[in-house]
Amino acid sequence: MSCSLADRISLLIDGELLPVETGAIERHLLDCAECQQIRTDFLNLRCQLDAYEPTLDQLAVQTALARVLAKPDITIVRQGWYERFSGAFGVHRFNPALAAAVLLVVFAGALAFLFYRLHNDRAVPSRPDYVPSDRQSALPSNATSPTPITQSQPSSGPSTSKDKTGGAHASGPQRREQKANGQTAKVAAKSVRDAQTASRSNKRDGVIATDSEMASNREVEASSAEAVRPEDAESLTARHLEQSELLLRAFRNIRIGEAVETSEFSYERQRAQQLFYRNIMLRREADSAGDAQVASLLDSLEPILLDIANLANQPQDDDVRAIKERVKRKNLVALLQVNSAALARANE
């Protein structure tokens, strides 16, 4: 900018000049093309910045307001893993004692699980390719698993690595086998389902599945738990939507103006509170899974559940009416019904 008065243009468009100075600059603008261009560009930038719209809608504003007004000790910050986990239980500040207790419980659970697995592993021969004959007959002929359905082997990595002479070769096949077992967990689960179908059809033909079959099916399903996790979330969500629908229907049927027993609202409130916390978890699950439709529905539902949970013991008619109108306006009952049915069908 070559003009010495260019810096005054910024002050001019912001109205930060004295009237005398404003007059002088405006007279200068009549003769200075550069300053005219600068003013035009600055005003254009102002339009661009002012036209920027936030990624927000009215529902998000209402939800945010509900969260701010909800609990005095709630903290809404960027959700790290700890906040997501603890937020589901209403705890939002770091508590060392609580964290230690949780770690202890998790550690104890892991030990118990390990003990259970080791105990069951001992009940079966260690040969990796052993398949009891009764289970072999129950397997469908078109099973696609490259490895038979057996007990998963206990980890043997460290011991084989110490064997220098045949260590590489001895651990290699075992490592490959463990890897193959891990990779085919999903396929094994499918084989289990096929086997179960086959055993059910065999039942119709009079053949009864043995206990060892069912035990092996349970263990393979446990080992492939990660593969079926998304379906668990869907079934949980479907149940949650159904229960929320029932709650809102019951709430909708409450008659305003008549004497309402305290116990009726107490039950609705408690139920709404339980569903509210579950809604938070499922909404975050849907967000992280990228399921925008479910996340949006749960987002609409959440403030309603919160408001019902926060109703007084004997609420005012206006408060009840306001919630009922919001439920009606959002057509929530119908949306919940449709979505819960769709999720339940998808999960079958």
Which residue ranges make up the site for another protein (CB under 8 A)? 1, 7, 10-11, 14, 16, 38, 41-42, 44-46, 48-57, 60-61, 64-65, 67-69, 72, 74-79, 287-288, 290, 292, 295-296
Residues 6+ apart with CB under 8 A from 72: none
Q: Give min distance, CB of 266 to another protein, in A.
A: 24
CB-wise, 69 or 250, nearer to another protein? Answer: 69
Residues 6+ apart with CB under 8 A from 333: 245, 248, 249, 252, 327
Q: Give min distance, CB of 205 to another protein, in A.
A: 49
User: How many helices, marked H, and strands, marked E, lie in the chain?
Assistant: 16, 0
CB-wise, 3 or 102, nearer to another protein? Answer: 3
String of DSSP letters for 255-306: PTTS---HHHHHHHHHHHHHHHHHHHHHHHHHHHHT-HHHHHHHHHHHHHHH
CB-wise, 11 or 260, nearer to another protein? Answer: 11
CA-only gyration radius of the chain, Å:
32
CB-wise, 76 or 98, nearer to another protein? Answer: 76
Within 10 angstroms of residue 288's Cβ, the number of other Cβ atoms is 12
Q: Give min distance, CB of 6 to another protein, in A.
A: 8
Q: Give min distance, CB of 224 to another protein, in A.
A: 26
d(CA 33, CA 40): 11
Q: Give min distance, CB of 195 to another protein, in A.
A: 37
CB-wise, 71 or 229, nearer to another protein? Answer: 71
